[in-house]
Structures are given as C-alpha cells and as structure tokens.
C-alpha cells in the first residue's frame, strides 16, 4: 500500500495537480472507474475483485480530508527527495557528502536522515488513518440510536459533543432549572445555546429536585452573550450565570449589591460541589492528554 498512488488508481493526475482536485471531481472519477472495473463486467479476470477493492480503498482515502492531506504530504516529500537525488551529479555528490560529514561531526542534523524520518512519519500516520477508515466502515452496521452517556467519579452527568479539555472558565456557563415536567436534555440545551455561538460541550448533573448543567461555549463572546439570560420554557425557565466572569479592564468601580448572593442561592451549594468536581476531572483529563 505504501507505493500505491491513489490518484492514479482513480485515473486522476497526481502530484501538485492532484492535490488541487475537488471532492466532486474525485467522486466523479471513482464512479467512472468503478463502472469499468466492476467484477460483474470482468467475469474472466481472476484479479477483478482484488482490483475493485483497491479502487474502493483508494477512494475512501482520498475522500477523507485528513487521510488525503497526509497522502499529499507523503507525495510531496517523495517528490522533493527524488528531485534532490536527480540534481546531484558525481562532483556535487562528493561536495554534499563532505559537507554532511562536517555537519554530522558538529552535531548538525543530517538532511537525508531528516527526509527519511519525515517520510516514515507521514507514511506511519497515513497507515493509521487507513486503519481508522477501515474500522469506521466495518462498524457501520452497529446502530447508535441514543446519545452516549459519560460517567465519572460518581457524578451523574449527560454530555453531548467532545469539549476541548484545555478548559477556559470564562467560556463556561452555569445553568439551573426546576425539576418539573420534561426538564432539559443535553441536546436541548445545546440547541438553545447555539443561538449565541458554537457549543463545545454540555454536562448535566442528575439531581432529584433541581437540574443543573455546565455549558462550554467556543468563544468568550458567545458566553457573555448568553450570560444572565433567562430562556427555555416559560413554565420552567433556565437561569444562566458565568462560571467565571470575563475580566473587564479600566472599568469604573461598581457598588456591590446583594444580587449575586441571591442568584447563587438559587443554584445552591450542591451545584458548586458538582462544578468543582467536573472541572477537576476535565483538568485531569487534559493533563493526561498532554
């Protein structure tokens, strides 16, 4: 698989010209090639099935954005390596060898070794992406009817999406509501807050009398826009507060009022415990990823 040019398998130009092709052009070329190489049209060809599988594999790689970028990088490195190799005549080869020997003696990086390392690194990542694509298509038959729930450290919570764990508290909102009627799911909260900007994650705490959640916005501006807004059902409105207010510089002093204490009483001490627990676990997960 390392030496296969997936563009040529689909009958497309390779190299820099292939990297500029659109997804629509690649799909069109695949359909045309699939009609040509389909085993039903080549009953006498013993390799027809294998060739058709190679065609499908090449198409899956080129239509996946990440895998295609890695493949384009691999082709680029190979082209640069071949171009340097062709440009070196015998005299220049000796000069380069002498220079590289001096560089190695001075602990300077070896250009050829660097090329090989980059090529092997990209090839390894491409193999991983190919394995990921195959595994993804192998699991297509598995039904995912419901949104998965994440459990952590005895704190009941429901989450939608994958939040980036390098958490900025100024992007996090505290949301609370009464446990009456249908209540609010993670998906419903995501839909409500997406009006103010993209939502990274929603974490819901399970409680008997009062519902609460942390909503992670993509930007601070989106978090500010949604702050102190009461939304949702009129019969059971949401109370929205910032986890950490956005710092404001050069602002005139404001007389302290009792309003924050009143709002905090609405949320309760149990919510603060839940909030600290969730933040601590998110930060630990971020440290593990590093």
C-alpha 112: how far from chain center:
33
Report the alpha-carbon distance of residue 266 to residue 261 in Å, rounded: 9
Q: Is residue 154 part of a domain?
A: no
Query: Angle at CA 124, nearest 5°, toward 86 and 30?
Result: 80
pLDDT band for position 268 (cuts 50, 70, 90): low
Q: Is residue 248 part of a domain?
A: no
How do residues 205-237 score in pLDDT, each as one tens digit? 776 678 888 989 999 888 888 886 657 777 778
- The yes-or-no verdict on residue 62 having pLDDT over 90 is yes
How do residues 64-113 score in pLDDT, each as one tens digit? 999 999 999 999 999 898 888 888 877 788 887 888 888 777 776 677 88
The predicted pLDDT at position 155 comes to: 37
Q: Is residue 207 part of a domain?
A: yes
Read off the tokens for 101.
């020997």
Q: Across the chain, which distance is largest between two alpha carbons, in Å? A: 88
Q: Is residue 83 part of a domain?
A: no
- The yes-or-no verdict on residue 25 having pLDDT over 50 is yes
The predicted pLDDT at position 139 comes to: 79
Residues 55, 37 contacting (CB under 8 angstroms): yes
Residue span of the structural domain in which 224 resides: 169-242
Q: Is residue 179 part of a domain?
A: yes
Q: Is residue 185 part of a domain?
A: yes
Of the residues 32, 63, 94, the one at which a domain ends: 63
The predicted pLDDT at position 143 comes to: 53
Between 91 and 54, the higher pLDDT residue? 54
The predicted pLDDT at position 100 comes to: 85
CATH classification of the domain holding 205: 3.30.70.330
Residues 226, 213 contacting (CB under 8 angstroms): no
Q: Which of 108-112, 133-137, 275-279 has the highest mean pLDDT?
A: 133-137
According to DSSP, the β-strands at 236-242 and 172-178 are antiparallel
Domain count, the chain: 2
Mean pLDDT of the chain: 79
Start-end of H helices in the chain:
6-9, 15-19, 23-37, 48-63, 65-87, 90-105, 111-138, 186-193, 220-226, 259-267, 269-289
Q: Is residue 231 part of a domain?
A: yes
Of the residues 14, 40, 63, the one at which a domain ends: 63
The predicted pLDDT at position 123 comes to: 92
- The yes-or-no verdict on residue 251 having pLDDT over 70 is no
pLDDT band for position 260 (cuts 50, 70, 90): low
Mean pLDDT of 243-271: 56
Taken as a whole, the chain contains a residue count of 290
The predicted pLDDT at position 112 comes to: 84
Residues 191, 241 contacting (CB under 8 angstroms): no
How do residues 147-203 score in pLDDT, each as one tens digit? 444 434 333 344 444 444 457 888 898 888 887 777 788 898 899 899 888 999 999
CATH classification of the domain holding 13: 1.10.287.110
- The yes-or-no verdict on residue 244 having pLDDT over 60 is yes
Q: Is residue 223 part of a domain?
A: yes
């Amino acid at each position: 698989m390392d030496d296969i040019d997936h563009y040529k398998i689909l009958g497309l130009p390779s190299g820099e010209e292939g990297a500029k092709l659109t997804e629509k052009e690649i799909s069109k070329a695949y359909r045309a090639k699939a009609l040509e190489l389909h085993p039903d049209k080549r009953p006498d060809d013993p390799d027809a099935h294998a060739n058709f599988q190679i065609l499908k594999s090449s198409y899956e790689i080129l239509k996946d954005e990440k895998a295609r970028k890695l493949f384009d990088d691999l082709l680029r490195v190979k082209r640069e390596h071949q171009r340097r190799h062709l440009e070196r005549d015998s005299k220049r080869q000796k000069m380069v060898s002498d220079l590289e020997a001096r560089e190695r003696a001075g602990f300077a990086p070896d250009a050829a070794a660097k090329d090989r390392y980059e090529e092997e690194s990209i090839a390894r990542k491409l193999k991983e992406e190919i394995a990921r694509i195959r595994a993804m298509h192998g699991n297509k038959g598995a039904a995912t009817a419901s949104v998965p729930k994440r459990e952590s450290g005895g704190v009941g919570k429901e989450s939608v999406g994958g939040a980036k764990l390098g958490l900025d508290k100024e992007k996090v909102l505290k949301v609370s509501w009464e446990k009456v009627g249908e209540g609010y799911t993670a998906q419903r909260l995501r839909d409500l807050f997406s009006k103010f900007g993209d939502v990274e994650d929603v974490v819901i705490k399970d409680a008997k009398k009062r519902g609460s959640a942390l909503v992670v916005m993509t930007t601070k501006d989106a978090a500010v826009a949604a702050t102190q807004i009461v939304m949702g059902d009129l019969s059971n409105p949401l109370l929205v507060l910032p986890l950490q207010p956005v710092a404001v510089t050069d602002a005139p002093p404001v007389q302290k009022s009792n309003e924050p204490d009143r709002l905090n009483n609405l949320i309760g001490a149990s919510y603060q415990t839940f909030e600290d627990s969730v933040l601590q676990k998110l930060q630990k997960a971020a440290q593990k990823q590093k």
